[in-house]
Amino acid sequence: MIRIGQAGIPLSCKGRTNKDGIAYTHKNLDLNAIEIQFVRGLYVMSDEEAQFIREYAQENDIEIHVHAPYYLNLAGDSEEIEMSYEKIIRSAQMANNIGAKTIVIHPGFYGEHGEKKTLKIIIKNLKKITNILKKEKIKIKIGLETMGKQKVFGTLDEIIEVCRNVKETIPVVDFAHIHARGNGSLKERADFEAIFETLKPLKLKHYLLHLTGVLYEKGNELYHLPIKRGDMPIAPLIEIILDNNYNVTLISESPLLEHDAVYIRLQVEKAIMKRTGKEEAYYKDLSEVT
Ligand SMILES: [Zn+2]
């Protein structure tokens, strides 16, 4: 199954609440996923809105993920770690209320620690957090994003290592971040295939994938670009997904949000048509492809 959506309330949606955003994603865009953004400080959502979102998503088969506040540091000083716990647990509670599958986080920075020590600290702190969530009966996966800057914890290998050690965590593969960190490393099919190969030991049944164009310099992400303006191709990725019948959710994190989500959808449908030889395709129907 292929799910497609965008990170946040669509730009073209007049209403600016998450409730408006999910309804618009379904009704106006006919997309079936959304990553709701709790990214600025501690976000507050009313119970009424949370209930609407949960029920709406269930009735209309929309998959929800949540993005926790950007600034977290599970390898920082005790104050930063405390702040990170609070933000993650608070976001996880709200994410749970709206029926989200995953809460996406940026785990932290190397700071003064070396890479290995940072890895150990992050594993230790994430174990504590997942234990707290378990006690609170919050069944949600913590998604660890691959990060696009050299000084930020989160190469693909590091993220996988954490996921191997902490139950209830999954990788969130941000291709643009991997591309930027590798100074433009994702060029062709084999480059994307290598990523899925590396992920294999985790035996994932579903992949949460972030897509955007990206501008980078010396192995560091500068900022996101519309997909078409970036130099990372998405067609090889789509081919791999269809060839392997991967169960994926593709989230557009481009500055064009839903416009690029729809662009991704069109590329998927073009790839389906190429396979079936028909002049029509629908991304939700892969019956003739696999
Ligand atoms: Zn992120």
Strands 213-217 and 220-225 come out as antiparallel
Identify which of 90, 84, 29, 19 has the alpha carbon closest to the alpha carbon of residue 57. Answer: 19
> pLDDT value at position 42?
67
Helices (H), the chain: 18-27, 47-60, 78-97, 115-135, 156-165, 175-181, 189-199, 235-244, 258-276
What confidence category does residue 282 fall into, taking pLDDT thresholds of 50, 70 and 90? very high
> pLDDT value at position 39?
83
pLDDT, mean of residues 40-59: 89
CB atoms within 10 A of CB 37: 18
- pLDDT above 90: residue 40: no
CA of 144 to the centre of ligand 1 (A): 9
- pLDDT above 70: residue 128: yes
CA of 105 to the centre of ligand 1 (A): 6
CA 198 to chain centre: 18
Task: Assess contact for 272 and 286: CB atoms under 8 A.
Answer: yes
CA of 186 to the centre of ligand 1 (A): 19
CA of 279 to the centre of ligand 1 (A): 36
Please compute, for residue 105, the number of CA atoms within 13 A of its CA located in the half-sphere on the CB side: 29
Distance CA 220, CA 218 (A): 6
CA of 46 to the centre of ligand 1 (A): 24
CA of 173 to the centre of ligand 1 (A): 10
CA 150 to chain centre: 20
What letter represents residue 167's amino acid? Answer: K
CA of 155 to the centre of ligand 1 (A): 13
CA of 138 to the centre of ligand 1 (A): 22
Distance CA 39, CA 8 (A): 10
Stated pTM of the model = 0.97
Please compute, for residue 17, the number of CA atoms within 13 A of its CA located in the half-sphere on the CB side: 11
Distance CA 148, CA 35 (A): 19
Neighbours of ion ligand 1 (CB under 5 A): 145
CA of 102 to the centre of ligand 1 (A): 12
pLDDT tens profile 159-179: 999 999 999 999 999 999 999
Q: Which long-range contacts (CB under 8 A, 24 or more apart) does 134-138 make?
A: 134/168, 136/89, 136/93, 138/92, 138/93, 138/96
CA of 104 to the centre of ligand 1 (A): 7
Residue for token digits 């913590």? 142
CA of 78 to the centre of ligand 1 (A): 23
Buried b or exposed e, range 104-125, using 16+ CB within 10 angstroms: bbbbbbbbebeeeebbebbbeb
What confidence category does residue 41 fall into, taking pLDDT thresholds of 50, 70 and 90? low
Enumerate residues 6+ apart whose C-beta is below 8 A from 87: 42, 68, 69, 72
Identify which of 167, 187, 165, 166 has the alpha carbon closest to the alpha carbon of residue 178. Answer: 187
- pLDDT above 90: residue 45: no
